[in-house]
Chain A
């Protein structure tokens, strides 16, 4: 194969992987106050592949709302001499340069380097060996590297999200990259699917499916498509939540009357009751340290957030203001709690600092539901509604950055942001 035809083939493969299979589009509706100006030069070498990788890096950083892209001009390789004065004059605080070179077996070697323009110093770089189809994955990894070096926290561009699409009486549990691309259907059903929850290692999803005319909890391995029933007792089975070690699921069962919290092993064995109330206990969520289970209960007369020790014990009330505070979800650092509050008839996303109990309402919409933190804690993904149609939205925990994710011909709901993947 000549160098030219190899490049042409790579370009075609890229075009295929870039085709909008997902139709989940993300629109930025608000950005951070102090965005870091960064220039991502086109990578040198194999033109099609190089341009595509740099495009993914740019799109990721821009979508985060924390970076402002500076026009970069001509391709620059990772080992090229950098004219820092010139980049400073263009207003860039950071610069990414790189190259793509053909490697053995039709693969490509992608190398990049990140420069601090102010300090006129390299902040490091990496090399990846990839197939033509892995251009997006590589772009996300480079964006994660840049994000972490410049902001001091891990990026989430290589993570995945799960959500449910309802269209024409059909329900699909889909998995997509964090940028909405590469959507794949894990489960399609004529009956509703709700409450997807990622296992901590990102390999499995627990969810509630109504395919047998009642809610039943399943555990589904994404790579194999194999799934099993985790809870199907008499009555309703719902609201699965994984323990941080992935060994246990907290669920809501009604087998003993009323919606109550239980814990069980992921294979469905070892059912233990976690709490007791005469009312509703639901929406369990493990604290990241595994010590507590936060949940919604109406034991005090209105639905509020509570917590119990994960091994069972006395419940402690967390929310007090207002008459409807549901779906408590802890940030990955365990310091804050996202939840949905009813605020004058509107259901909005709120965030509580657990140390000070100070609460901030993060959204200005009416029907917000199902908050889910990004694994770095920066953004909270949630379900909302615009013009009677379900959309997903994300807001940064400081309320500044806002994104909207929608699909063209359907309702999207029940989002769950997946964990960091080890690679």
Chain B
């Protein structure tokens, strides 16, 4: 449910504000804040999971809350308008090496389901390649495809298909 909401929010942000997002909130800052909460004689126990949770909270705000990259027909090229978004996610992955990302590639409905699965895979791998070139570790990111099976929009027209030709980025706990 939360994932769905975020994806919808992400889409709304992209549709509404174009390419620029709010001020970035790198994950490292968030981790620092939790470390500073030690005061006086009181020691608040912090588990690794909590640190992960705190880090992941950053992915639900600002630029990092945008999780989708859209593609042209029959294309796997990450368009310029999504480069700053991909860079923000790459920075977050570099700063939080324990966090993992699942990229789900998608395709529009036209043609064979299995071939569309392969097209979605190409899109997911294109995004993964860009993230790893920007410093994310290979093991940190898994590229998979949902093909035409999970359309965001289900009408048979270009406006709708363009929303289905996309990659969605999911972080640890969301998949």
User: Which A residues form the contact surface with B (CB < 8 A)?
Assistant: 192, 194-195, 210, 213-215, 234-236, 238-239, 252, 254, 257-259, 280, 282-283, 296, 303, 324, 326-327, 340, 342, 347, 369-370, 388, 413-414
Contact = CB atoms under 8 A, between A and B. Distances in A.
A370 B111 CA distance: 10
A252 B113 CA distance: 13
A238 B117 contact: yes
Interface string B81-113: 000000000000000000000101000001111
Contacts of A282: 114-115, 117-118
A268 B143 CA distance: 21
Residue among A326, A370, A413, A414 with the highest chain B CB neighbour number at 10 A: A326
Nearest to B145: A236
Contacts of B110: 347
Nearest to A283: B114
Contacts of B7: none
Contacts, number: 96
A366 to B, nearest CB: 10
Contact of B113 (A258, A280, A370): A370
Nearest to B170: A213
Contacts of B117: 194, 215, 236, 238-239, 252, 259, 282
A170 to B, nearest CB: 13
Contacts of A238: 114, 117
B146 interface: yes
A327 B118 CA distance: 13
A192 B149 contact: yes
23 contacts: A192-B146, A192-B149, A194-B147, A194-B149, A195-B113, A215-B146, A235-B142, A236-B121, A254-B121, A254-B144, A258-B125, A259-B118, A280-B121, A282-B117, A282-B118, A283-B114, A283-B115, A296-B112, A303-B115, A327-B115, A342-B111, A369-B111, A388-B156
A293 to B, nearest CB: 14
